Amino acid sequence: MKVILKQDIKGVGKKDQVINAADGYARNYLFPKNLAVPADTGNMNNLQAKKDSESFRKGEDFKASKALAEKMKDMTIEFKVKAGENGRLFGAITAKEIAEALKKEHDIVVDKKKIMLAESIKVAGVTKVEIKLNEGVIAKLSVMVTTL
């Protein structure tokens, strides 16, 4: 019997996957526990519509990420901090601070985990920072650190 899984089941399949299950397994285990639905015409059409809307949404997100990346390449975020000799900062500029500055100055919300910073910025000057906005979309942002 063909069934559509409603959630991941270890050893059986992943969510929204159509599988062949034994009649007894489907009727006695999958259906009563609401883990699957029969793969009839109506449910198959619902599954296809769900997949189509999800792919459309992903396409729209990708376009928005590309536009944001293009906008960010000309942006510069400036930090003014205290520094000692040789331009070494007292403290460091972290991904969290960069995300907060983006939100405050440009009203762009970026998760700090998406900011690819090998280590905190500890010297004055301009640093190029990469931000992973979406699958395959990486924005480059300039971070200028000046001393007081």
Instruction: Inform me whether the pLDDT recorded for 89 exceeds 90.
Output: no
The CATH number assigned to the domain with range 66-147 reads 3.10.430.100
Q: State CA 113 to chain mean position distance.
A: 9
Where is pLDDT greater, at 98 or 148? 98
User: Is 46 within 8 Å of 16 (Cβ atoms)?
Assistant: no
Mean of pLDDT values over 83-93: 82
Beta strand 137-147 with 76-81 is: parallel
Beta bridge partners of 36: 5
If you average pLDDT over residues 120-128, what whole number do you get? 89
Residue extents of the structural domains in the chain: 2-63, 66-147
Tokens of 47: 């599954």
Average pLDDT, the chain: 92
pLDDT at 123: 86
Q: Under a CB-based contact definition with an 8 Å cutoff, are residues 140 and 70 in contact?
A: no
Superfamily of domain 2-63: Ribosomal protein L9, N-terminal domain (3.40.5.10)
Share of the chain above pLDDT 90, in %: 74
Q: Is the separation of the CB atoms in 95 and 114 below 8 Å?
A: no
- Over 90: is that where the pLDDT of 44 sits? yes
The conformation of residue 124, written as its DSSP 8-state character, comes to S
Instruction: Give yes or no on whether 2-63 and 66-147 have one common fold.
Output: no
Exposed, middle or buried: residue 51 (CB in 10 Å: 0-12, 13-18, 19+)?
A: exposed
pLDDT digits (tens, 9 = 90+) for 90-123: 888 999 999 999 999 989 999 999 999 989 898 8
Q: At residue 87, does pLDDT exceed 80?
A: no
